[in-house]
Structure 1
Amino acid sequence: MNIKILIKLIQEKHHQSGIEINPPATFSDITEFENEIGFSLPSDFREFYLTCNGFGCNEDIFNMIPLQNIRKYPQNFGKNWFHFSEYMIYSEMWGLRRTSEGEFEIFNDSHPDKVMTSSVNEFLQRFLAGNVFDSGGLYEWQKELGIM
């Protein structure tokens, strides 16, 4: 599914409970961020940030973190990794890392040795399906993968 469509569907789903979609990042925002983390973002992450520079949902206090907020807190990024999503005011986080082989891995910070996917598109589809806790959501997905 296209990232723009996913964001639109997430926005429609969370309209009643509250959601704030940030304006898109610029190409220079992305380039500066990539220079800081030491790798070029996968194409679906670039598409995400060029569609919206993150969003915040009142339900589950779930956020896709804007690039400037990631960069603001050095504990949330390093060479070859960064946290891109969180819920409950940073009590649980999801990150992206680039392996030494150049592969991308999305992981839950509570279980960093386990890989969920390489795709923010798939991550957002699971959030759309069931938020963090509902059927089809992020926690159920992690259970399916044997992470929790």
Structure 2
Amino acid sequence: MKINQIVNLIQQKHQDNGFEINAPAKLSDIANFETQMGFSLPTDFKEFYLTCNGFGCNEDIFNMIPLSEIMQENRNNADNWFYIAEYMVYSDMWGVRIESNGEYEIFIDEHKDKPLTSSLSEFLQRFLKGNVFDKGGLYDWQNELGII
């Protein structure tokens, strides 16, 4: 499933319980981000940010972080990783580590050495399926993989 389809499904699922989607980023926003961070975004992350520049969901107070906020925080970019999502006002965070060959892995903050996936689509689909806490969601997925 394409990133824009997943984002649309997430938006439809949460339309009645609070969902705010940010306007798409511009190509110049992505170029500025890449220049500031010192590396290129993977193709599916570019697709995500060109679909929406992050979103906020009242369910579990989950947010996909917009580029501008990532750049403001500019956390650990020397190691080619940054946070992409958070829940409950940064209680838990998910990050992406980008390898020199352009591949990447998504991880939960407290277990950086145990990646969840190398697919943004899969990450978003897990949120679509079970939010943060429900069956099939992000925490259930971490349990399935033996991470937490």
2:35 aligned residue: 35
1:26 aligned residue: 26
1:55 aligned residue: 55
Tell me the CA shift for residue 38 of structure 1.
2.0
| Percent identity of equivalent pairs | 64
1:63 and 1:43 mapped to 2: Cα distance?
A: 21
Aligned length: 147
Structure 1 portions without partners, runs of 5+: none
The 5-angstrom pairing of residues 1-148 of structure 1 reads 1-75=1-75, 77-79=76-78, 80-100=80-100, 102-148=102-148
Task: Tell me the C-alpha RMSD between the 2 structures.
Answer: 1.2
2:101 and 2:30 mapped to 1: Cα distance?
A: 22
Question: TM-score, structure 1 length as denominator?
Answer: 0.95
SS across alignment from 2:82: strand
Please tell me whether the aligned partners of residues 37 and 74 of structure 2 are also in contact (alpha carbons under 8 angstroms): no
SS across alignment from 2:113: coil
1:31-82 alpha-carbon deviations (Å, 9 max, x no partner): 111122222111111000000000000110000000001111233x413111
SS across alignment from 2:47: helix
